[in-house]
Structure 1
């Protein structure tokens, strides 16, 4: 069995597609996944499974739609092995996430599209926004003092946004910590 980070897109946002994390955790346990642990309400789960990433995501998506009343067009699931999640953290740009008082940093996880395909949805504002493409992720950094000027929300208006899910860098690091705890320090 392999550790996975499972990210849910489109649940518990703006009062729509409400899925209580306790019920989601229970559903995943009933599906036979091991060491299920949830983190905050936005849809973050750590679990163990024998399934490959894509098969795991599709299996959960099917069950999720059957178990909860959801707008299926908005909900997607992304599963990443603990090793792949670790690589996303390791491959971040130099200094990314290291100065949270100065910059707000997000990992924008890509679902079925490449970074090259996703980049046209972004229009960073010089001096405020910086983005870097990664493997399965876009790293986004905003100058906190000018955060209200950020153009990140323009990306959210793009049809490509349906193939992305955003996690703050703090949440990303917490999920990595949870994976490490389940594996005794290794991802």
Structure 2
């Protein structure tokens, strides 16, 4: 069995797509996944399953959730090793006290270089974006966070193929997969 995390996009945000984590975990168990647990209320589900490719797992999870919840949800799945590679490849100061840092996880087959080529101009000295394996690392200077231009990316159609987690949540998910 391999460890995975499913990152559900757009649930329990701003009062939309309200899904209880206990019920969500039960849906995963009923579908045959093992060692299921959730982290926070934003749709992070940790579990074990037979090894499979992330695109196949994403498709299976989306189908299961559409059937069980009667809602089309975007799921981005990462194996423990894929998540570890994303954490390891982060810029050295990502997550430092100077920045508010996040990871934009990309749905397969979306690639970081594809998004970087479409990236609208960010604010110099405020915003920073770097590509990584299956992700983009975004940081904004804390003291200037209200001046960010990241909303321009969030308004683009490609953003619907991503989900965002804070750096702290990302590293915590890896810790939980390793526990």
TM-score w.r.t. length of structure 1: 0.90
The yes-or-no answer on 1:95 pairing with 2:90 is no
Query: Which residue, 168, 171, 179 being the options, matches 2:169?
Result: 171
What aligned pairs does 1:110-121 form with structure 2 within 5 A after superposition?
Answer: 110-112=106-108, 113-119=110-116, 120-121=118-119
State the alpha-carbon separation in 1 of the partners of residues 133 and 42 from structure 2.
23
Secondary structure, counterpart of 1:138 in structure 2 = strand
CA offsets 1:38-66 (integer angstroms, 9 cap, x no match): 01111101100014122221111111112
State the alpha-carbon separation in 1 of the partners of residues 114 and 55 from structure 2.
19
Aligned residues: 176
Gaps of 5+ in 1: 182-187
Q: Which runs of 4+ in 1 moved over 4 A?
A: none
For 2:60, the equivalent position in structure 1 comes to 59
Q: 1:14 to 1:69 in 2, by over 3 A?
A: farther
Gaps of 5+ in 2: none
State the alpha-carbon separation in 2 of the partners of residues 142 and 123 from structure 1.
14
Indicate if the aligned counterparts of 1:108 and 1:139 stay in contact, CA closer than 8 A. Answer: yes
